[in-house]
Amino acid sequence: MQKFQFHPCGNFKESYYQELTIFETDFGRLWMIIGLILLFGVIPFISSAFVLYVLNTMGIYAIAAIGLNLLIGYTGQISLGHGAFFGVGAYAAAILATRAHFPFWAALPAAGLITAAVGMVFGLPSARLKHLYLCIATLAGQFIIEYVLVQWEGLTGGAAGISVIGATLFGLDLGNDRTFYYVIYICFVFFAWVAVNLIRTRYGRAFIAIRDNDRAAEGMGIPIFPYKLLSFAISSFYAGFAGGLYAYYMISITPEPFNLWLSIVFIAMIIIGGLGNIPGSVFGAVFIVTLEEVLSHATEYLMNIGASTGVAITIAPLREFVFGLAIVLFIIFEPKGIAEVWRIVRSGFRLWPFSY
Amino acid sequence: MEFFLQLLVNGISLGFLYALSALGFVMIFKSSSVLNFAHGELLAIGAFLFLALSTWAKLPIILAFAVTLIGSFSLGFIIERFFLRPLIGEELIEVIMLTVGLAAMFKGLLLFIFGGDIHSYPNFLPEGLSMQWGAIQIPSVYVATFIIGIIFLIIFGFFFKYSSQGIYMRSVADNQPAALSLGVHVRRVFALSWAIAALVCAMSGIVLGIINGVNVHNLSAIGLKVFPVVILGGLDSIGGAILGGVIIGLLETFTGGYISTSLREVVPYIVLVLILMVKPYGLFGLVEIERV
């Protein structure tokens, strides 16, 4: 184990294990500890109720985005159904809580497992399909799940939805934003830790091999179909777990939010954040949620101005325009996402004053 | 029996409508292998441009039509030049997301300018086209769609089969590096295919607008309906697109007529997944032979 040392100014790795290290120097660990202290000790106490709400949304979306990045960024299987899987998780948790009276701590993993099973079913076409065709098959999955959520009224309550009330964990009331913040971010840290380490195992390496060239991976003895299914299952588990958190946090859920647009938003998160990069998915979730909040406040503000000056313009559609513009600009000018910007900024500091 | 026949006729006309609206999509895919999620918005842009020119600017129909076609042709060029060209050689998912972003931009702009209401064109189709056999009737717009659709499909077929640009497009779609090394101007092929696709989209958008009224939400929803239509027939086959359109149209009208109207919207996707499981490249798609 290295002691305090500086980054070498080049790639001097001598073994595969050095390549696998997460923290190259102890500064990384130090920064992570500082970050965790800020996350759990400082931020929840200085934030207003609104900021806490935004942070909680970010945390929930970040968990789902990490799951999607494992599937798209690492395994290379494009899925347009992640929003629907998120919805399946939300409904599974809500139904387990209201019908089967599952406690909070059991309902979430159960929702994750149910979603993983559903995800594997919709991952089955990946046995024969790839690229565009798989993309369209998952799009079909999105529409089929949406249909089931609306139409299976006996189970899901149809368009009226379900309400989940009174989540408690070890006697703590989770109705409070701050308590829920802790629940969300403990789960978030755990899932991020699992994802980062999963990539370093044989499973993660198999995923990356399949992404880079599935025929070659098969030729080297990786059974690609089981691994693709596994990737679908893990990714859906993340989505389902996050969906369960969403259901408990939002208290009442309807099929409305889990549409194709949500799937697109998840993909936008990982593309803007950085494909094949776990911190990138978190950056993407933070960016998109912030953008959405800023846009909705800006439109509200402009609408009020419009109402007072008598200029009746509906500015709401411009929200969609700006959202699309953000995606397009990011893809054209920084296809590797915020994670790449972050790396450049960091190495700029590290190499200062000789940065190039 | 009459109900059945009416459904059959409705299904086939709906299918032709889908096939017609899928043409621009197939055009782009055939030359540049880009899955265009902004397809519905391209349809909508054409339809609204025609609407603005014919009802707001009060141009004569023929002139409005010509200006719409020129406008969308240039729009196609602009989209390719400024948005798609920087992405040549990038990952599939990034190109897909770029078109999704474009779709959101166009939809936002159209909603901002025209609002979410249903607009309609002034009536300019001759009435004599409608057909009647016993109790079954086909309104004149459908007959017109059918005729326009057939004409375009024939033109397209000849274009891809015999014209030099069409052959360039097929060669680029088949193997980009090989086409490049044989002297095909790949960038020009891309630009031209986007321009022609936008033009065809405008045309289909106008036809859709005549039939259903011009509405941003409806037209962009049709953009999504194009996926099962095109995939079912195989992404790179125009004949497949027609057959896919007719199959989807029949499926929709028959489930709508006999089972339930809510199932109607999902059935194409269920059938799509089942067919893809059996034939991964669609019914008529070219099977790719892959090498490591």
Contacts A327 to B, Cβ<8 Å? 97-98, 100-101, 104
**Cβ–Cβ of A331/B101 closer than 8 Å?**
yes
Predicted local distance difference test score (pLDDT) of residue A65? 93
Contacts A159 to B, Cβ<8 Å? none
Using alpha carbons only, give the angle B14, B18, B22 rounded to the nearest 5 degrees: 170
In this predicted structure, the answer to whether residue B146 has a pLDDT above a threshold of 80 is no
Predicted local distance difference test score (pLDDT) of residue A7? 67
**Cβ–Cβ of B292/A125 closer than 8 Å?**
no
Q: What is the average pLDDT value for chain B, to the nearest integer? A: 81
pLDDT tens-digit series, residues B238-288 = 677 788 888 888 888 888 878 777 788 788 888 888 888 887 777 776 666
**Cβ–Cβ of B277/A124 closer than 8 Å?**
yes
pLDDT tens-digit series, residues B25-55 = 888 887 777 888 888 899 899 888 888 888 8
Please, are residues A281 and A68 in contact by the beta-carbon 8 Å criterion? yes
Contacts A151 to B, Cβ<8 Å? 262
| Mean pLDDT score, B4-8 | 81
In this predicted structure, the answer to whether residue A55 has a pLDDT above a threshold of 80 is yes
Cβ of residue A32 closer than 8 Å to a chain B Cβ: no
User: Among residues of chain A, what percentage have pLDDT more than 70?
Assistant: 90
Q: Is residue A210 part of a domain?
A: yes
How confident is residue A6, by pLDDT bands cut at 50, 70 and 90?
A: low
Predicted local distance difference test score (pLDDT) of residue B126? 61
The strand pair at A168-169 and A172-173 is best described as antiparallel
Nearest to B101 by CA among B41, B158, B21: B41
Interface of A with B in 195-224 (CB under 8 A): 213, 215-216, 219
Cβ of residue A71 closer than 8 Å to a chain B Cβ: no
pLDDT tens-digit series, residues B93-103 = 788 888 988 99
How confident is residue A31, by pLDDT bands cut at 50, 70 and 90?
A: confident
Cβ of residue A147 closer than 8 Å to a chain B Cβ: yes
Interface of A with B in 260-279 (CB under 8 A): 260, 264, 267-268, 271, 275
**Cβ–Cβ of B93/A136 closer than 8 Å?**
no
Determine the structural domain holding residue A191 and report its residue range: 23-259
Chain A residue with Cα closest to B229: A136
Amino acid at position A258, single letter = F
Give the 3-state secondary structure of residue A145. Answer: helix
Q: How many domains, chain A?
A: 1
| Mean pLDDT score, B78-82 | 88
**Cβ–Cβ of A125/B273 closer than 8 Å?**
yes
Predicted local distance difference test score (pLDDT) of residue A215? 86
Interface probe, candidates B96, B216, B237, chain A, greatest A C-beta count within 10 A = B96
Contacts A332 to B, Cβ<8 Å? 83, 86-87, 98
Contacts A288 to B, Cβ<8 Å? none
Chain-centroid distance of CA A116 in Å reads: 15
Predicted local distance difference test score (pLDDT) of residue A330? 87
**Domains in chain B: boundaries:** 17-121+133-226
The C-alpha of B215 sits at a distance from chain A's nearest C-alpha, in angstroms, of 14
Whole-angstrom Cα distance, residue B290 to residue B292? 7
| Mean pLDDT score, A253-280 | 87
| Tokens standing for residue B161 | 């089969």
In this predicted structure, the answer to whether residue A239 has a pLDDT above a threshold of 90 is yes
| Tokens standing for residue B223 | 């953009």
**Cβ–Cβ of A321/B104 closer than 8 Å?**
yes
Q: What is the average pLDDT value for chain A, to the nearest integer? A: 84
A336 vs A167: which has the higher pLDDT: A336
Chain B residue with Cα closest to A140: B269
The C-alpha of A163 sits at a distance from chain B's nearest C-alpha, in angstroms, of 25
pLDDT tens-digit series, residues A219-238 = 888 898 899 999 999 999 99
Q: Which residue from A147, A216, A264 is facing B100, i.e. has the nearest CB?
A: A264
Predicted local distance difference test score (pLDDT) of residue B253? 85
Predicted local distance difference test score (pLDDT) of residue A238? 94
Cβ of residue A341 closer than 8 Å to a chain B Cβ: no
Predicted local distance difference test score (pLDDT) of residue B130? 64
How confident is residue B165, by pLDDT bands cut at 50, 70 and 90?
A: confident
User: Among residues of chain B, what percentage have pLDDT more than 70?
Assistant: 90
Long-range contacts of B171-179, Cβ-Cβ distance < 8 Å, separation of 24 or more: B172/B31, B172/B32, B173/B29, B173/B30, B173/B31, B173/B32, B173/B33, B173/B236
**Cβ–Cβ of B92/A78 closer than 8 Å?**
yes
Whole-angstrom Cα distance, residue B76 to residue A177? 49
Q: Indicate the length of chain A as a whole number.
A: 356
Q: Which residue from B97, B103, B265 is facing A331, i.e. has the nearest CB?
A: B97
| Tokens standing for residue A330 | 């990011």
| Mean pLDDT score, A6-35 | 76
**Cβ–Cβ of A320/B269 closer than 8 Å?**
no
List helix spans (H) across A220-274.
224-250, 260-273
pLDDT tens-digit series, residues B185-225 = 888 888 888 898 898 888 888 888 887 778 888 888 888 88
Predicted local distance difference test score (pLDDT) of residue A314? 63
| Mean pLDDT score, B130-144 | 69
Chain-centroid distance of CA B145 in Å reads: 13
ipTM over 0.90: no
Predicted local distance difference test score (pLDDT) of residue B246? 85
Cβ of residue A317 closer than 8 Å to a chain B Cβ: yes
| Mean pLDDT score, A178-189 | 88
| Mean pLDDT score, B163-170 | 85
End-to-end CA distance of chain B: 55
Predicted local distance difference test score (pLDDT) of residue A311? 54
Cβ of residue A72 closer than 8 Å to a chain B Cβ: yes
The C-alpha of A143 sits at a distance from chain B's nearest C-alpha, in angstroms, of 7
Predicted local distance difference test score (pLDDT) of residue B224? 83
Predicted local distance difference test score (pLDDT) of residue A339? 85
List helix spans (H) across A99-130.
104-123
Q: Which residue from A151, A327, A332 is facing B100, i.e. has the nearest CB?
A: A327
